[in-house]
């Protein structure tokens, strides 16, 4: 617990300091997918997602070959609707004595034939990545290649409930036990990042980065009263084009002021994988098999940035 609090403090101080010096505001649209290990979900579901980000791809520290970078992104998805094929299979295998306990008044044949309704999912959350590294090659601010140590945290949460458009009365009887709940995921990450940029004329440049990290944390569900320790991996890939119309250097005494204004257009793919997850909110003890839980986002974005 003390380590978690210390990391929060470090991330907060570092983030506030670097945002003042340089930052880019991005707006993104794309798709968000989840699959596996969550209430019996046995296939990938996806929907549109909107992202709001504060980003710095690469900022030199005191004009040296050392640099810092960060990405702070809020994800806001519309609801994802999916039928629960895995749950339907589990229902047919429930012992008769247990089934009658949860569905009194139903015959054994009707219980076996029950199917569950579709479920609404709405993923949202914050993802923070901070890095400090060193350039392996550095010609200027738009022509470099570096490697960085990356640390961060992810705090996504998923609201889930029975979809209101289900009209199957037998399904409704069966799944009165399917409760509205919230699953919160809290993970810490540490890994490596590579980043680079190459000029394309006087005003344009091409940039890209790749991150691979290990993550560990907790996964909690409000209805199932579960608190799971989880481990997994995080990976992210980013590529884009930068347009920099303003570039000015002015030396005043010991200091050199170098204001920059630029715009970016890019694509970012992110994937969170948590190993061996199984969360059951049906209330019937369905005993789902553990599997890898994955969240994936594919985002196209536009950004406006500055630095001093």
Token pair belonging to 169: 């009365």
Q: Are strands 250-252 and 204-221 parallel, antiparallel or unpaired?
A: unpaired
Fold of 2-302: Lipocalin (2.40.128)
C-alpha distances in angstroms, 188 versus 7, 152, 185? 9, 6, 10
Containing 249, the helix (H) or strand (E) segment is none
Flag whether pLDDT at 259 surpasses 80: no
Token pair belonging to 156: 């996504």
Angle at Cα 275 formed by Cα 273 and Cα 278, nearest 5°? 110
For the purposes of burial, counting CB atoms within 10 Å of the CB of 62, is it exposed (0-12), middle (13-18) or buried (19 or more)? Answer: exposed
Token pair belonging to 113: 């034939």
> Which of 96, 97, 91, 81 is closest to 173 using CA atoms?
91
The mean per-residue pLDDT over the stretch 184-213 comes to: 94
pTM: 0.75
The mean per-residue pLDDT over the stretch 166-194 comes to: 67
The mean per-residue pLDDT over the stretch 286-299 comes to: 75
> What is residue 185's predicted lDDT score, i.e. its pLDDT?
83
> What is residue 158's predicted lDDT score, i.e. its pLDDT?
74
User: φ, ψ for residue 18 (rounded to 5)?
Assistant: -75, -30
> What is residue 141's predicted lDDT score, i.e. its pLDDT?
86
Angle at Cα 70 formed by Cα 66 and Cα 76, nearest 5°? 170
**Cα–Cα distance between 209 and 73 in angstroms, integer?**
16
Segments making up each domain of the chain, as ranges: 2-302
The mean per-residue pLDDT over the stretch 243-251 comes to: 74
Half-sphere exposure at residue 40, Cβ-oriented, CA atoms within 13 angstroms: 24
**pLDDT tens digits along 139-169:** 988 999 999 999 999 988 777 665 555 544 4
The mean per-residue pLDDT over the stretch 194-207 comes to: 94
**pLDDT tens digits along 44-80:** 777 888 999 999 999 888 888 999 999 999 988 766 5
**Coil, helix or strand for 65?**
coil
């Amino acid at each position: 617990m003390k380590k978690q609090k210390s990391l929060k403090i470090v991330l907060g101080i570092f983030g506030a300091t670097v945002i003042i010096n340089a930052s880019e505001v991005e707006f993104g649209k794309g798709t968000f997918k989840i699959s596996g290990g969550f209430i019996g979900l046995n296939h990938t579901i996806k929907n549109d997602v909107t992202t709001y980000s504060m980003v710095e791809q690469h900022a030199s520290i005191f004009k040296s070959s050392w640099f810092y970078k960060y990405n702070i992104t809020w994800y806001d998805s519309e609801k994802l609707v999916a039928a629960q094929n895995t749950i339907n299979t589990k229902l047919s295998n429930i012992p008769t004595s247990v089934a009658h306990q949860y569905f009194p008044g139903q015959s054994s044949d009707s219980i076996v034939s029950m199917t569950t309704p579709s479920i609404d999912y709405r993923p949202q959350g914050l993802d923070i990545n901070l890095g400090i590294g060193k350039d392996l090659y550095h010609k200027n601010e738009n022509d470099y290649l570096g490697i960085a140590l990356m640390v961060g945290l992810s705090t996504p949460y998923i609201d889930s409930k029975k979809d209101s458009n289900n009209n199957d009365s037998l399904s409704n009887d069966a799944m009165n036990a399917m409760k509205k709940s919230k699953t919160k995921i809290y993970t810490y990450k540490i890994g490596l990042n590579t980043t680079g940029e190459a000029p394309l004329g006087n005003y344009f440049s091409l940039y890209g980065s790749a991150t691979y990290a290990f993550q560990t944390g907790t996964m909690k569900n409000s209805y199932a009263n579960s608190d799971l320790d989880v481990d997994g991996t995080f990976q992210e890939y980013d590529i884009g084009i930068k347009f920099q119309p303003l570039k000015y250097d002015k030396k005043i005494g010991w200091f050199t002021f170098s204001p920059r204004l630029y715009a970016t257009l890019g694509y970012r793919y992110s994937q969170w994988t948590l190993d061996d997850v199984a969360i059951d909110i049906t209330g019937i003890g369905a005993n789902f098999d553990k599997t890898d839980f994955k969240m994936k986002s594919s985002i196209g974005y536009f950004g406006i940035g500055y630095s001093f």
